[in-house]
Structure 1
Amino acid sequence: MTQSEKHVLGLSGGRDSAALAVFMRQNYPHLDIEYFFTDTGKELPEVYEFLGQLEGFLGKPILRLNPDRDFDYWLKQYNQFLPSPQTRWCTRQLKLRPFEQWIKPYLDEGTLVHSYVAIRADEEYREGYNAKQKNLQVHLPFKDNAIDKAGVMEILDASGLGLPKYYSWRSRSGCTFCFYQQKIEWVRLMEEHPDKFEEAKQYEKTAVENGSPFTWTQGESLEELSQPERIQQIKADHEKRLQRMRDKKQTNPLRPDEEPIDIDDLYGQAKGCLACHK
Protein backbone atom coordinates (compact mmCIF):
# COMPACT_ATOMS: atom_id res chain seq x y z
CA MET A 1 0.00 0.00 0.00
CA THR A 2 1.44 3.41 -1.00
CA GLN A 3 1.87 5.90 1.86
CA SER A 4 -0.17 9.07 1.37
CA GLU A 5 1.80 12.33 1.20
CA LYS A 6 1.07 15.99 1.89
CA HIS A 7 3.15 19.02 0.87
CA VAL A 8 2.98 22.24 2.92
CA LEU A 9 4.74 25.60 2.79
CA GLY A 10 4.37 28.21 5.50
CA LEU A 11 4.24 31.90 4.57
CA SER A 12 5.13 34.63 7.05
CA GLY A 13 4.19 37.56 4.83
CA GLY A 14 7.92 38.13 4.38
CA ARG A 15 10.29 38.15 1.42
CA ASP A 16 11.97 34.74 1.62
CA SER A 17 8.94 32.51 2.14
CA ALA A 18 7.08 34.33 -0.65
CA ALA A 19 10.03 33.79 -3.00
CA LEU A 20 10.09 30.10 -2.03
CA ALA A 21 6.39 29.76 -2.87
CA VAL A 22 7.08 31.32 -6.30
CA PHE A 23 10.12 29.07 -6.78
CA MET A 24 8.18 25.90 -5.94
CA ARG A 25 5.24 26.91 -8.16
CA GLN A 26 7.57 27.50 -11.11
CA ASN A 27 9.93 24.55 -10.66
CA TYR A 28 7.70 21.87 -9.13
CA PRO A 29 4.25 22.50 -10.63
CA HIS A 30 3.39 18.80 -10.27
CA LEU A 31 3.45 19.06 -6.47
CA ASP A 32 0.10 19.92 -4.90
CA ILE A 33 1.50 22.26 -2.25
CA GLU A 34 -0.79 23.67 0.40
CA TYR A 35 0.32 27.19 1.31
CA PHE A 36 -0.60 28.43 4.78
CA PHE A 37 -0.28 31.58 6.87
CA THR A 38 -0.69 31.60 10.64
CA ASP A 39 -2.59 34.78 11.40
CA THR A 40 -1.97 36.17 14.89
CA GLY A 41 -4.47 38.98 14.32
CA LYS A 42 -1.69 41.48 15.05
CA GLU A 43 -0.18 41.66 11.56
CA LEU A 44 0.60 44.73 9.47
CA PRO A 45 -2.07 45.66 6.88
CA GLU A 46 0.68 45.51 4.24
CA VAL A 47 1.14 41.81 5.03
CA TYR A 48 -2.48 40.99 4.17
CA GLU A 49 -2.20 43.02 0.96
CA PHE A 50 0.93 41.14 -0.09
CA LEU A 51 -0.63 37.75 0.69
CA GLY A 52 -3.54 38.67 -1.59
CA GLN A 53 -1.11 39.47 -4.42
CA LEU A 54 0.72 36.21 -3.80
CA GLU A 55 -2.53 34.24 -3.98
CA GLY A 56 -3.13 35.78 -7.42
CA PHE A 57 0.28 34.61 -8.62
CA LEU A 58 -0.03 31.11 -7.16
CA GLY A 59 -3.53 30.69 -8.51
CA LYS A 60 -4.80 29.13 -5.30
CA PRO A 61 -5.87 30.36 -1.87
CA ILE A 62 -3.47 30.59 1.05
CA LEU A 63 -4.94 28.76 4.02
CA ARG A 64 -5.27 30.96 7.11
CA LEU A 65 -4.49 29.13 10.34
CA ASN A 66 -5.95 31.12 13.21
CA PRO A 67 -4.89 30.41 16.79
CA ASP A 68 -7.76 29.05 18.89
CA ARG A 69 -6.74 31.56 21.58
CA ASP A 70 -5.57 35.08 20.77
CA PHE A 71 -2.67 37.22 22.00
CA ASP A 72 -4.74 38.78 24.79
CA TYR A 73 -5.63 35.32 26.15
CA TRP A 74 -2.01 34.20 26.28
CA LEU A 75 -0.85 37.52 27.76
CA LYS A 76 -3.16 36.85 30.71
CA GLN A 77 -1.88 33.26 30.98
CA TYR A 78 1.66 34.61 31.24
CA ASN A 79 0.66 37.08 33.98
CA GLN A 80 0.76 40.12 31.67
CA PHE A 81 4.48 39.49 31.00
CA LEU A 82 5.35 40.59 27.48
CA PRO A 83 7.02 38.08 25.20
CA SER A 84 10.74 38.71 24.67
CA PRO A 85 13.78 37.14 22.98
CA GLN A 86 14.29 35.21 26.24
CA THR A 87 10.64 34.07 26.49
CA ARG A 88 9.13 33.77 23.01
CA TRP A 89 5.74 32.50 24.07
CA CYS A 90 4.08 34.38 21.19
CA THR A 91 5.84 32.25 18.56
CA ARG A 92 5.14 29.07 20.46
CA GLN A 93 1.44 29.73 21.14
CA LEU A 94 0.37 31.83 18.12
CA LYS A 95 2.51 30.36 15.31
CA LEU A 96 3.81 26.86 16.07
CA ARG A 97 0.83 25.58 18.07
CA PRO A 98 -1.75 26.23 15.31
CA PHE A 99 0.57 24.52 12.78
CA GLU A 100 0.93 21.48 15.05
CA GLN A 101 -2.83 21.26 15.56
CA TRP A 102 -3.41 21.48 11.81
CA ILE A 103 -0.99 18.72 10.75
CA LYS A 104 -1.46 16.41 13.75
CA PRO A 105 -4.37 14.44 12.23
CA TYR A 106 -2.33 13.81 9.06
CA LEU A 107 0.71 12.68 11.03
CA ASP A 108 -1.42 10.49 13.31
CA GLU A 109 -2.90 8.67 10.33
CA GLY A 110 0.58 8.01 8.93
CA THR A 111 0.63 10.60 6.13
CA LEU A 112 4.15 11.65 5.09
CA VAL A 113 4.17 15.45 5.43
CA HIS A 114 6.78 17.41 3.46
CA SER A 115 7.38 20.92 4.84
CA TYR A 116 9.31 23.42 2.69
CA VAL A 117 11.25 26.10 4.61
CA ALA A 118 12.82 29.28 3.18
CA ILE A 119 16.36 29.06 4.58
CA ARG A 120 18.68 30.65 2.00
CA ALA A 121 22.07 29.36 0.89
CA ASP A 122 23.80 32.31 2.58
CA GLU A 123 22.19 31.65 5.97
CA GLU A 124 22.91 29.27 8.77
CA TYR A 125 20.07 26.85 9.32
CA ARG A 126 17.92 28.24 12.12
CA GLU A 127 15.52 25.76 13.62
CA GLY A 128 12.01 26.86 12.82
CA TYR A 129 10.16 23.72 13.68
CA ASN A 130 11.66 20.76 15.48
CA ALA A 131 10.32 17.77 13.57
CA LYS A 132 9.81 15.16 16.28
CA GLN A 133 7.69 12.88 14.09
CA LYS A 134 9.51 10.64 11.64
CA ASN A 135 6.82 11.23 9.00
CA LEU A 136 7.37 15.00 9.02
CA GLN A 137 10.20 15.87 6.65
CA VAL A 138 11.68 19.39 6.41
CA HIS A 139 13.12 20.46 3.04
CA LEU A 140 15.35 23.48 2.30
CA PRO A 141 15.04 24.12 -1.47
CA PHE A 142 17.03 27.39 -1.41
CA LYS A 143 19.95 25.61 0.28
CA ASP A 144 19.73 22.74 -2.18
CA ASN A 145 19.72 25.13 -5.16
CA ALA A 146 22.32 27.63 -3.87
CA ILE A 147 19.82 30.53 -3.81
CA ASP A 148 21.01 33.45 -1.70
CA LYS A 149 19.49 36.82 -0.78
CA ALA A 150 20.17 38.31 -4.23
CA GLY A 151 18.60 35.20 -5.79
CA VAL A 152 15.48 35.70 -3.69
CA MET A 153 15.24 39.29 -4.94
CA GLU A 154 15.58 38.11 -8.54
CA ILE A 155 12.76 35.58 -8.07
CA LEU A 156 10.39 38.21 -6.66
CA ASP A 157 11.31 40.81 -9.29
CA ALA A 158 10.91 38.35 -12.17
CA SER A 159 7.51 37.24 -10.86
CA GLY A 160 6.26 40.84 -10.83
CA LEU A 161 5.50 40.66 -7.11
CA GLY A 162 8.49 42.58 -5.84
CA LEU A 163 8.82 43.23 -2.11
CA PRO A 164 5.96 43.74 0.35
CA LYS A 165 5.34 47.47 0.81
CA TYR A 166 6.46 47.48 4.44
CA TYR A 167 10.05 46.81 3.29
CA SER A 168 10.29 50.54 2.56
CA TRP A 169 10.37 51.15 6.32
CA ARG A 170 10.74 47.81 8.10
CA SER A 171 12.73 44.68 7.22
CA ARG A 172 10.54 42.05 8.85
CA SER A 173 7.04 40.70 8.85
CA GLY A 174 5.55 39.44 12.09
CA CYS A 175 3.40 41.19 14.67
CA THR A 176 3.19 44.98 14.67
CA PHE A 177 4.76 45.02 18.14
CA CYS A 178 7.46 42.39 17.53
CA PHE A 179 10.18 42.77 20.16
CA TYR A 180 12.86 42.00 17.55
CA GLN A 181 12.26 45.39 15.93
CA GLN A 182 15.14 47.82 16.09
CA LYS A 183 14.44 51.22 17.60
CA ILE A 184 14.30 52.85 14.15
CA GLU A 185 11.55 50.39 13.21
CA TRP A 186 9.53 51.42 16.27
CA VAL A 187 9.89 55.06 15.21
CA ARG A 188 8.71 54.18 11.72
CA LEU A 189 5.79 52.12 13.07
CA MET A 190 4.74 55.22 15.02
CA GLU A 191 4.89 57.25 11.80
CA GLU A 192 3.30 54.68 9.44
CA HIS A 193 0.70 53.13 11.78
CA PRO A 194 0.24 55.35 14.85
CA ASP A 195 -2.74 53.27 16.00
CA LYS A 196 -0.59 50.10 16.08
CA PHE A 197 2.12 51.96 17.99
CA GLU A 198 -0.42 53.19 20.55
CA GLU A 199 -1.75 49.66 20.97
CA ALA A 200 1.79 48.39 21.63
CA LYS A 201 2.35 51.22 24.11
CA GLN A 202 -0.81 50.29 26.00
CA TYR A 203 0.20 46.60 26.16
CA GLU A 204 3.57 47.67 27.54
CA LYS A 205 2.05 50.01 30.15
CA THR A 206 -0.27 47.27 31.43
CA ALA A 207 2.58 44.76 31.52
CA VAL A 208 4.93 47.05 33.45
CA GLU A 209 2.18 47.85 35.94
CA ASN A 210 1.79 44.11 36.50
CA GLY A 211 5.51 43.61 37.16
CA SER A 212 6.73 42.50 33.73
CA PRO A 213 10.55 42.66 33.61
CA PHE A 214 10.45 43.40 29.88
CA THR A 215 9.56 46.40 27.76
CA TRP A 216 9.12 45.94 24.01
CA THR A 217 12.51 47.45 23.23
CA GLN A 218 15.56 46.93 25.39
CA GLY A 219 16.48 49.64 27.84
CA GLU A 220 13.54 52.03 27.40
CA SER A 221 9.78 52.18 27.21
CA LEU A 222 7.87 53.19 24.09
CA GLU A 223 6.82 56.32 25.98
CA GLU A 224 10.49 57.29 26.34
CA LEU A 225 11.33 56.25 22.77
CA SER A 226 8.55 58.40 21.31
CA GLN A 227 9.84 61.69 22.74
CA PRO A 228 10.86 64.14 19.96
CA GLU A 229 14.49 64.47 21.06
CA ARG A 230 14.86 60.69 21.32
CA ILE A 231 13.32 60.21 17.86
CA GLN A 232 15.87 62.64 16.37
CA GLN A 233 18.68 60.76 18.11
CA ILE A 234 17.49 57.37 16.81
CA LYS A 235 17.18 58.68 13.26
CA ALA A 236 20.62 60.30 13.35
CA ASP A 237 22.20 57.08 14.64
CA HIS A 238 20.47 55.09 11.91
CA GLU A 239 21.75 57.42 9.18
CA LYS A 240 25.31 57.06 10.51
CA ARG A 241 25.01 53.26 10.41
CA LEU A 242 23.64 53.40 6.88
CA GLN A 243 26.49 55.56 5.68
CA ARG A 244 29.10 53.29 7.26
CA MET A 245 27.49 50.27 5.58
CA ARG A 246 27.42 52.03 2.19
CA ASP A 247 31.06 53.03 2.55
CA LYS A 248 32.10 49.43 3.29
CA LYS A 249 29.89 47.81 0.66
CA GLN A 250 31.55 46.81 -2.61
CA THR A 251 29.50 46.85 -5.80
CA ASN A 252 29.16 43.46 -7.49
CA PRO A 253 29.68 44.07 -11.25
CA LEU A 254 27.59 40.96 -12.00
CA ARG A 255 24.72 42.41 -9.97
CA PRO A 256 24.83 46.18 -10.43
CA ASP A 257 21.43 46.68 -8.79
CA GLU A 258 22.03 47.12 -5.10
CA GLU A 259 20.41 44.65 -2.76
CA PRO A 260 18.33 46.38 -0.08
CA ILE A 261 20.15 46.75 3.24
CA ASP A 262 18.28 44.83 5.91
CA ILE A 263 17.97 46.65 9.21
CA ASP A 264 19.34 43.63 11.07
CA ASP A 265 22.47 43.76 8.88
CA LEU A 266 23.07 47.26 10.23
CA TYR A 267 22.60 46.41 13.89
CA GLY A 268 24.05 42.91 13.97
CA GLN A 269 21.39 41.45 16.22
CA ALA A 270 19.22 38.35 16.13
CA LYS A 271 17.15 37.83 13.00
CA GLY A 272 14.04 36.83 14.88
CA CYS A 273 11.77 33.81 14.78
CA LEU A 274 11.84 31.72 11.62
CA ALA A 275 8.08 31.11 11.76
CA CYS A 276 7.37 34.84 11.81
CA HIS A 277 9.99 36.58 9.72
CA LYS A 278 10.85 34.49 6.68
Structure 2
Amino acid sequence: MTTTRHVLGLSGGRDSAALAIFMRQRHPEIEVEYFFTDTGKELPEVYEYLTRLEGYLGKPILRLNPDRDFDYWLKSYKSYLPSAQSRWCTRQLKLRPFEKWVREFLEAGETVISYVAIRSDEEYREGYQSNKEKLLVRLPFKDASIDKPGVIEILEGSGLGLPDYYKWRSRSGCTFCFFQQKIEWVRLKTEHPDAFEEAKRYEKNAIEHGSPFTWSQGESLTDLEQPERQEQIKLDHEKRLARARTRLQANPLRPDTTLDLDDVYGGAAKACLTCHK
Protein backbone atom coordinates (compact mmCIF):
# COMPACT_ATOMS: atom_id res chain seq x y z
CA MET A 1 0.00 0.00 0.00
CA THR A 2 1.35 3.44 -0.98
CA THR A 3 2.11 5.68 1.98
CA THR A 4 2.11 9.46 2.01
CA ARG A 5 4.46 11.72 3.94
CA HIS A 6 3.61 15.30 4.73
CA VAL A 7 6.61 17.63 5.14
CA LEU A 8 6.94 21.33 5.90
CA GLY A 9 10.21 23.21 5.66
CA LEU A 10 10.95 25.90 8.25
CA SER A 11 13.40 28.72 7.61
CA GLY A 12 13.20 30.32 11.03
CA GLY A 13 11.12 33.01 9.37
CA ARG A 14 7.66 34.41 9.95
CA ASP A 15 5.65 32.77 7.19
CA SER A 16 6.81 29.17 7.52
CA ALA A 17 6.37 29.32 11.31
CA ALA A 18 2.82 30.59 10.83
CA LEU A 19 2.13 27.80 8.35
CA ALA A 20 3.31 25.19 10.86
CA ILE A 21 0.91 26.65 13.43
CA PHE A 22 -1.86 26.82 10.82
CA MET A 23 -1.43 23.15 9.93
CA ARG A 24 -1.46 22.10 13.58
CA GLN A 25 -4.61 24.14 14.29
CA ARG A 26 -6.58 23.52 11.10
CA HIS A 27 -5.42 20.05 10.13
CA PRO A 28 -4.55 18.11 13.29
CA GLU A 29 -5.43 14.91 11.44
CA ILE A 30 -2.34 15.33 9.21
CA GLU A 31 0.92 14.08 10.68
CA VAL A 32 3.34 16.70 9.43
CA GLU A 33 7.12 16.26 9.58
CA TYR A 34 8.83 19.59 10.14
CA PHE A 35 12.39 20.15 8.95
CA PHE A 36 15.02 22.89 8.93
CA THR A 37 17.94 22.88 6.53
CA ASP A 38 20.81 24.27 8.57
CA THR A 39 23.63 26.03 6.71
CA GLY A 40 25.56 26.56 9.95
CA LYS A 41 25.62 30.30 9.23
CA GLU A 42 22.17 31.25 10.47
CA LEU A 43 21.36 34.06 12.85
CA PRO A 44 21.39 33.06 16.54
CA GLU A 45 17.81 34.35 16.76
CA VAL A 46 16.77 31.75 14.17
CA TYR A 47 17.87 28.83 16.33
CA GLU A 48 16.19 30.35 19.38
CA TYR A 49 12.93 30.82 17.49
CA LEU A 50 12.95 27.26 16.19
CA THR A 51 13.34 25.98 19.75
CA ARG A 52 10.31 28.02 20.83
CA LEU A 53 8.35 26.75 17.84
CA GLU A 54 9.17 23.15 18.78
CA GLY A 55 7.65 23.83 22.18
CA TYR A 56 4.43 25.05 20.59
CA LEU A 57 4.22 22.20 18.08
CA GLY A 58 5.02 19.62 20.72
CA LYS A 59 7.39 17.75 18.43
CA PRO A 60 10.98 18.11 17.26
CA ILE A 61 12.00 19.88 14.07
CA LEU A 62 14.35 17.69 12.07
CA ARG A 63 17.66 19.38 11.28
CA LEU A 64 18.91 18.60 7.79
CA ASN A 65 22.59 19.42 7.82
CA PRO A 66 24.36 19.51 4.46
CA ASP A 67 27.15 16.95 4.25
CA ARG A 68 29.42 19.68 2.88
CA ASP A 69 29.44 23.08 4.53
CA PHE A 70 29.61 26.65 3.23
CA ASP A 71 33.40 26.71 3.23
CA TYR A 72 33.54 23.54 1.10
CA TRP A 73 31.23 24.98 -1.55
CA LEU A 74 32.94 28.38 -1.47
CA LYS A 75 36.19 26.66 -2.39
CA SER A 76 34.41 24.61 -5.07
CA TYR A 77 33.15 27.85 -6.62
CA LYS A 78 36.70 29.27 -6.71
CA SER A 79 36.04 31.50 -3.70
CA TYR A 80 33.38 33.45 -5.61
CA LEU A 81 30.69 34.70 -3.27
CA PRO A 82 27.10 33.62 -3.89
CA SER A 83 24.97 36.37 -5.38
CA ALA A 84 21.56 37.10 -6.84
CA GLN A 85 23.04 36.04 -10.20
CA SER A 86 24.53 32.82 -8.84
CA ARG A 87 22.62 31.49 -5.83
CA TRP A 88 24.83 28.48 -5.25
CA CYS A 89 24.31 28.76 -1.49
CA THR A 90 20.58 28.06 -1.86
CA ARG A 91 21.18 25.30 -4.36
CA GLN A 92 23.89 23.47 -2.42
CA LEU A 93 23.03 24.20 1.22
CA LYS A 94 19.22 24.26 1.12
CA LEU A 95 17.78 22.43 -1.89
CA ARG A 96 20.39 19.68 -2.16
CA PRO A 97 19.95 18.39 1.44
CA PHE A 98 16.15 18.48 1.07
CA GLU A 99 16.22 16.55 -2.20
CA LYS A 100 18.62 14.01 -0.70
CA TRP A 101 16.32 13.55 2.31
CA VAL A 102 13.12 12.95 0.33
CA ARG A 103 14.81 10.82 -2.34
CA GLU A 104 14.78 7.72 -0.13
CA PHE A 105 11.04 8.12 0.45
CA LEU A 106 10.32 8.53 -3.25
CA GLU A 107 12.52 5.60 -4.19
CA ALA A 108 10.59 3.49 -1.66
CA GLY A 109 7.40 4.32 -3.56
CA GLU A 110 6.04 6.85 -1.09
CA THR A 111 4.27 10.05 -2.04
CA VAL A 112 5.66 13.21 -0.43
CA ILE A 113 3.49 16.31 -0.03
CA SER A 114 5.49 19.45 0.71
CA TYR A 115 3.64 22.41 2.26
CA VAL A 116 5.08 25.81 1.29
CA ALA A 117 4.24 29.13 2.99
CA ILE A 118 3.46 31.30 -0.02
CA ARG A 119 0.80 33.81 1.00
CA SER A 120 -2.28 34.89 -0.94
CA ASP A 121 -0.75 38.35 -1.49
CA GLU A 122 2.37 36.93 -3.14
CA GLU A 123 1.28 36.39 -6.71
CA TYR A 124 4.81 36.98 -7.93
CA ARG A 125 6.36 34.09 -6.00
CA GLU A 126 6.57 30.47 -6.97
CA GLY A 127 7.22 27.54 -4.71
CA TYR A 128 9.73 24.75 -5.06
CA GLN A 129 9.24 23.30 -8.51
CA SER A 130 9.27 19.52 -8.34
CA ASN A 131 9.99 17.37 -11.37
CA LYS A 132 9.14 14.22 -9.45
CA GLU A 133 5.72 12.70 -10.02
CA LYS A 134 5.28 11.74 -6.38
CA LEU A 135 6.69 14.93 -4.86
CA LEU A 136 3.71 17.27 -4.64
CA VAL A 137 3.66 20.91 -3.54
CA ARG A 138 0.73 22.41 -1.62
CA LEU A 139 0.13 26.10 -0.82
CA PRO A 140 -2.31 26.24 2.14
CA PHE A 141 -2.10 30.02 2.58
CA LYS A 142 -3.04 30.56 -1.04
CA ASP A 143 -5.97 28.18 -0.69
CA ALA A 144 -7.17 29.87 2.52
CA SER A 145 -6.56 33.45 1.27
CA ILE A 146 -4.14 34.26 4.09
CA ASP A 147 -2.00 37.36 3.49
CA LYS A 148 0.76 39.01 5.52
CA PRO A 149 -1.55 40.55 8.17
CA GLY A 150 -3.16 37.11 8.44
CA VAL A 151 0.23 35.52 9.07
CA ILE A 152 1.00 38.02 11.83
CA GLU A 153 -2.42 37.37 13.36
CA ILE A 154 -1.68 33.62 13.46
CA LEU A 155 1.66 34.18 15.19
CA GLU A 156 0.31 36.64 17.73
CA GLY A 157 -2.74 34.50 18.42
CA SER A 158 -0.55 31.50 19.17
CA GLY A 159 1.55 33.47 21.65
CA LEU A 160 4.71 32.73 19.65
CA GLY A 161 4.98 36.18 18.08
CA LEU A 162 7.60 37.23 15.57
CA PRO A 163 11.25 36.15 15.61
CA ASP A 164 13.38 38.66 17.50
CA TYR A 165 15.48 39.53 14.44
CA TYR A 166 12.48 41.25 12.85
CA LYS A 167 13.30 44.16 15.14
CA TRP A 168 16.29 44.91 12.90
CA ARG A 169 16.17 42.65 9.86
CA SER A 170 13.51 41.67 7.32
CA ARG A 171 14.16 37.95 6.89
CA SER A 172 15.87 34.84 8.17
CA GLY A 173 18.84 33.17 6.50
CA CYS A 174 22.59 33.35 6.71
CA THR A 175 24.16 36.22 8.62
CA PHE A 176 25.88 37.36 5.42
CA CYS A 177 22.93 36.92 3.04
CA PHE A 178 23.50 39.08 -0.05
CA PHE A 179 19.80 39.98 -0.15
CA GLN A 180 20.24 42.17 2.92
CA GLN A 181 19.63 45.87 2.46
CA LYS A 182 22.50 48.17 3.39
CA ILE A 183 20.71 49.24 6.57
CA GLU A 184 20.62 45.57 7.58
CA TRP A 185 24.39 45.30 7.17
CA VAL A 186 24.76 48.35 9.41
CA ARG A 187 22.50 46.73 11.98
CA LEU A 188 24.30 43.37 11.69
CA LYS A 189 27.51 45.14 12.68
CA THR A 190 25.74 46.42 15.80
CA GLU A 191 23.75 43.29 16.69
CA HIS A 192 26.33 40.63 15.76
CA PRO A 193 29.76 42.22 15.25
CA ASP A 194 31.51 38.84 15.08
CA ALA A 195 29.25 37.74 12.21
CA PHE A 196 29.94 41.03 10.42
CA GLU A 197 33.70 40.48 10.76
CA GLU A 198 33.34 36.94 9.42
CA ALA A 199 31.47 38.29 6.40
CA LYS A 200 34.28 40.80 5.82
CA ARG A 201 36.85 37.99 5.85
CA TYR A 202 34.87 35.98 3.31
CA GLU A 203 34.52 39.06 1.11
CA LYS A 204 38.21 39.96 1.30
CA ASN A 205 39.19 36.41 0.36
CA ALA A 206 36.72 36.41 -2.55
CA ILE A 207 38.03 39.72 -3.93
CA GLU A 208 41.60 38.43 -3.71
CA HIS A 209 40.51 35.43 -5.82
CA GLY A 210 38.90 37.61 -8.47
CA SER A 211 35.24 37.36 -7.43
CA PRO A 212 33.20 40.02 -9.23
CA PHE A 213 30.74 40.22 -6.32
CA THR A 214 30.75 41.86 -2.92
CA TRP A 215 28.12 41.06 -0.29
CA SER A 216 26.45 44.43 -0.67
CA GLN A 217 25.99 45.67 -4.19
CA GLY A 218 28.40 48.35 -5.29
CA GLU A 219 30.63 48.52 -2.20
CA SER A 220 32.66 46.39 0.13
CA LEU A 221 31.76 45.91 3.78
CA THR A 222 34.98 47.73 4.69
CA ASP A 223 33.67 50.79 2.86
CA LEU A 224 30.13 50.34 4.17
CA GLU A 225 31.23 50.24 7.83
CA GLN A 226 32.93 53.62 7.72
CA PRO A 227 31.18 55.96 10.21
CA GLU A 228 30.24 58.58 7.60
CA ARG A 229 28.85 55.92 5.27
CA GLN A 230 26.84 54.31 8.07
CA GLU A 231 25.27 57.67 8.91
CA GLN A 232 24.41 58.21 5.26
CA ILE A 233 22.75 54.78 5.07
CA LYS A 234 20.76 55.45 8.25
CA LEU A 235 19.57 58.81 6.93
CA ASP A 236 18.54 57.32 3.60
CA HIS A 237 16.65 54.57 5.42
CA GLU A 238 14.70 57.08 7.53
CA LYS A 239 13.66 58.95 4.39
CA ARG A 240 12.52 55.73 2.72
CA LEU A 241 10.64 54.70 5.87
CA ALA A 242 8.82 58.02 6.01
CA ARG A 243 7.73 57.68 2.37
CA ALA A 244 6.53 54.12 2.97
CA ARG A 245 4.46 55.19 5.99
CA THR A 246 2.85 57.92 3.92
CA ARG A 247 1.77 55.36 1.34
CA LEU A 248 0.28 53.16 4.06
CA GLN A 249 -2.05 55.93 5.24
CA ALA A 250 -4.18 55.33 2.17
CA ASN A 251 -5.24 51.99 3.67
CA PRO A 252 -6.44 52.47 7.29
CA LEU A 253 -7.38 48.78 7.55
CA ARG A 254 -3.75 47.71 7.28
CA PRO A 255 -1.96 47.89 10.64
CA ASP A 256 1.43 49.62 10.74
CA THR A 257 2.95 46.45 12.25
CA THR A 258 2.87 44.90 8.76
CA LEU A 259 5.35 47.50 7.47
CA ASP A 260 8.73 45.86 7.10
CA LEU A 261 11.90 46.37 5.09
CA ASP A 262 10.45 44.67 2.04
CA ASP A 263 7.70 47.30 2.00
CA VAL A 264 10.31 50.02 2.28
CA TYR A 265 12.73 48.68 -0.32
CA GLY A 266 10.54 46.45 -2.47
CA GLY A 267 12.89 43.50 -2.17
CA ALA A 268 10.45 40.69 -1.39
CA ALA A 269 10.06 39.55 -4.98
CA LYS A 270 13.79 39.03 -5.37
CA ALA A 271 14.57 37.10 -2.20
CA CYS A 272 15.17 33.37 -2.06
CA LEU A 273 11.91 31.63 -1.19
CA THR A 274 13.70 28.54 0.16
CA CYS A 275 15.80 30.49 2.67
CA HIS A 276 13.57 33.29 3.80
CA LYS A 277 10.09 31.83 4.26
Once the two structures are superposed, what CA deviation does each residue of 1:193-245 show, in whole Å capped at 9, x if it has no partner? 00000000000000000000000011000000000000000000000000111
Q: Is the 8 A contact 1:251 1:258 kept in 2?
A: no
- In the other structure, the counterpart of 2:9 is 10
Once the two structures are superposed, what CA deviation does each residue of 1:65-114 show, in whole Å capped at 9, x if it has no partner? 00000000000000000000000000000000000000001011110100
Q: How far off its partner does 1:248 sit?
A: 1.7
Select the residue among 253, 259, 262 that pairs with 1:261. 259
Q: What SS class does the counterpart of residue 114 from structure 1 fall into?
A: strand
Once superposed, what is the RMSD of the aligned Cα atoms? 1.1
Q: What SS class does the counterpart of residue 37 from structure 1 fall into?
A: strand
Q: How far off its partner does 1:125 sit?
A: 5.1
Once the two structures are superposed, what CA deviation does each residue of 1:159-182 show, in whole Å capped at 9, x if it has no partner? 000000000000100000000000
Q: How far off its partner does 1:258 sit?
A: 2.2
One-letter amino acid of the counterpart of residue 161, structure 2: G
Where do 1:87-166 residues align within 5 Å?
87-124=86-123, 126-166=125-165
Where do 1:96-245 residues align within 5 Å?
96-124=95-123, 126-245=125-244
**Distance in 1 of aligned mates of 2:253 and 2:133:** 42
Percent of aligned positions that are identical: 71
Q: Is the 8 A contact 2:118 2:127 kept in 1?
A: no
**Distance in 2 of aligned mates of 1:238 and 1:260:** 17
Q: What SS class does the counterpart of residue 259 from structure 1 fall into?
A: helix
**Distance in 2 of aligned mates of 1:114 and 1:190:** 40
Unaligned runs of 5+ in 2: none
Q: How far off its partner does 1:249 sit?
A: 1.1
- In the other structure, the counterpart of 2:249 is 250
One-letter amino acid of the counterpart of residue 135, structure 2: L
Q: How far off its partner does 1:259 sit?
A: 2.8
**Distance in 1 of aligned mates of 2:190 and 2:259:** 20
Q: What SS class does the counterpart of residue 40 from structure 1 fall into?
A: coil
TM-score, structure 1 normalization: 0.97
One-letter amino acid of the counterpart of residue 152, structure 1: V
**Distance in 1 of aligned mates of 2:6 and 2:32:** 5
Unaligned runs of 5+ in 1: none
Q: Is the 8 A contact 2:106 2:134 kept in 1?
A: yes
Once the two structures are superposed, what CA deviation does each residue of 1:112-139 show, in whole Å capped at 9, x if it has no partner? 1000000000002533422011101100
One-letter amino acid of the counterpart of residue 149, structure 1: K
Q: Is the 8 A contact 2:120 2:147 kept in 1?
A: yes
Q: How far off its partner does 1:267 sit?
A: 1.4
Q: Is the 8 A contact 1:179 1:217 kept in 2?
A: yes
**Distance in 2 of aligned mates of 1:185 and 1:110:** 45
Q: Is the 8 A contact 2:7 2:35 kept in 1?
A: yes
